[in-house]
Amino acid sequence: MRGGAEVDLRGFIGRPRELQGLSVEFEVARALSQSPGETLLFTDIPGYAFPVVGNVITGREAVCRALGTDRDGYIRHVLRCYENPLEPVVVERAPCQEERCRLSDLPVLRHFERDGGRYITAGVVIARDEEHGFNASIHRLMVRDDGRLGIRVVPRHLHEYFRRAEEDGRDLEVAIAIGMHPAVFYAAAYSAPLGYSELSLAGALLGRPLEVARCGKVDLLVPARAEFVIEGRMLANERAPEGPFADVTGTYDHVRDEPVIEVLRITHRKRALYQALLPGSVEHRLFMGMPREPGIYRAVSEVAEVSNVCLSDGGCNWLHGVVALRKGRWRIEQVIERAFAYHRSMKHLVVVDEDIDIHDPLALEYAIATRFQADRDAYVYRDAVGSTLDPSGGEDGRTTKVGIDATIPPGRESRYEPARIP
Ligand code: MN
């Protein structure tokens, strides 16, 4: 079991390189984008007392380390945790409630030139619904003024909670936790079904129940070791323009009318660290994509024996999938359709044999070059539901998907035999 210091953000980052005096206006964002492989601590930020930490996750290995696994064991480890969730435990004295501050005290970054404002990007939004229980999910939060945040809510679980509250004419209470151990952040990014609490998955991933604290102004539980907690409510029947915002593809998402959160109070740890997550960075992409991979693995495993799954780096860890299959007579069309059905933002999927290292783009290209014939092995799905973040698709996310069967056809292996030097 991991000790207390190993289950919070400060315990995970150790002693990162420190940069002093950079501004929240673009300068911190620029430094983060220039050193994606390095966790950075920003101190003496003009106008702010709190330091900023960024690039907490520097690559796939760092995510695996946070989850207590490695690259090869990753998917099976997460699925085991998913099947054995651990309920959180309530603690009475929580580090996250030691002190109070205002929204304008947070060193929130402005990232990109045309962004519509300064954005909180590492906030885990916790809400509760009478029927479905706790939900934790990650949303970008635009600072509107000292008391209000804009929140982008895609039609998933929080959207459903808010819809139900609004239908009853109620605001929806929310608590936004910023700055936690990456395993907790990963859990919040995981696409569990409605009613499955991401906080319980966090416990399983940490190897011990997540400690949570009761909020003061809302009836919710939050991770006790979070650096900051914003308590507030999503206002019923209120919308305001949100965006533009440069997202995971490095291009701008457009302006929409989105819900508004009224801030009720903010608490924080002593000497709190504000966590920033640079949109489009390695860290952002991996936190989007990696939590999707175990679910794709599970979905495809219903129709074939899967060796490995990834959402590849070149596809923003979001739009491009790769599935490696063990030898067998699988219906590849079913494999493709299961994967697309589970991860609807996926636009292109390549199915390969297990001898191909799916994390190696050259190996993947080799498989397409030598094992694929477009007239026989391509599966095209027109006018499908995809990601609104792909600038080549429609604004409503309509897109054309392609599944590529780059596996060796059963019975023809001899033609594909790799030449060996004796
Ligand atoms: Mn959920």
Burial class from Cβ neighbours inside 10 Å (0-12, 13-18, 19+) for residue 148 reads middle
pLDDT at 314: 97
Query: How far is the C-alpha of 153 from the C-alpha of 172, rounded, in Å?
Result: 13
Counts for the chain of helices (H) and strands (E), in that order: 12, 23
256-292 pLDDT, tens digit per residue, is 999 999 999 999 999 999 999 999 999 999 999 999 9
Bridge partners (DSSP) of residue 117 are none
- In Å, the largest CA–CA distance within the chain is 76
The mean pLDDT value for 12-37 works out to 97
Using the predicted structure, report yes or no on whether residue 322 has a pLDDT greater than 60: yes
CA 125 / ligand 1 centre spacing (Å): 10
Using one digit for the tens of pLDDT, what is the confidence trace for 75-96? Answer: 999 999 999 999 999 999 999 9
Distance CA(320)–CA(311), nearest Å, equals 6
Cα(411)–Cα(255) distance, rounded to whole angstroms?
53
Active site residue 247: yes
Residue 273 sits at φ, ψ, to 5 deg, of -105, 125
Residues 6+ apart with CB under 8 A from 337: 403
Give the C-alpha separation, 104 to 377, whole Å.
Answer: 55
Determine the Cα–Cα distance for residues 311 and 346; give it in Å rounded to an integer.
Answer: 9
Structure tokens of 183?
């395993």
Contact (Cβ atoms closer than 8 angstroms) between residue 120 and residue 140: yes
What are the tokens at 18?
A: 């420190």
At residue 191, the pLDDT reads 86
pLDDT at 6: 76
Model confidence band, residue 37 (pLDDT cutoffs 50, 70, 90): very high
Measured in Å, residue 198 CA sits from the centre of ligand 1 at 6
pTM: 0.95
Query: What separation in Å is there between the alpha carbon of 404 and the centre of ligand 1?
Result: 31
Annotated catalytic residue within 247, 253, 353, 405: 247
- pLDDT, one tens digit per residue, over 91-128 is 999 999 999 999 999 999 999 999 999 999 999 999 99
How many A from CA of 343 to the centre of ligand 1? 15
What CA–CA distance (Å, rounded) separates 182 from 286?
11
pLDDT at residue number 1: 55
Distance of alpha carbon 308 from alpha carbon 194, whole angstroms: 26
pLDDT at residue 232 in the model = 98
Distance 25 CA to ligand 1 centre (A): 33
State the distance from the centre of ligand 1 to the C-alpha of 175, rounded, in angstroms.
15
DSSP notation for 223-238: ETT-SEEEEEEEEEEE
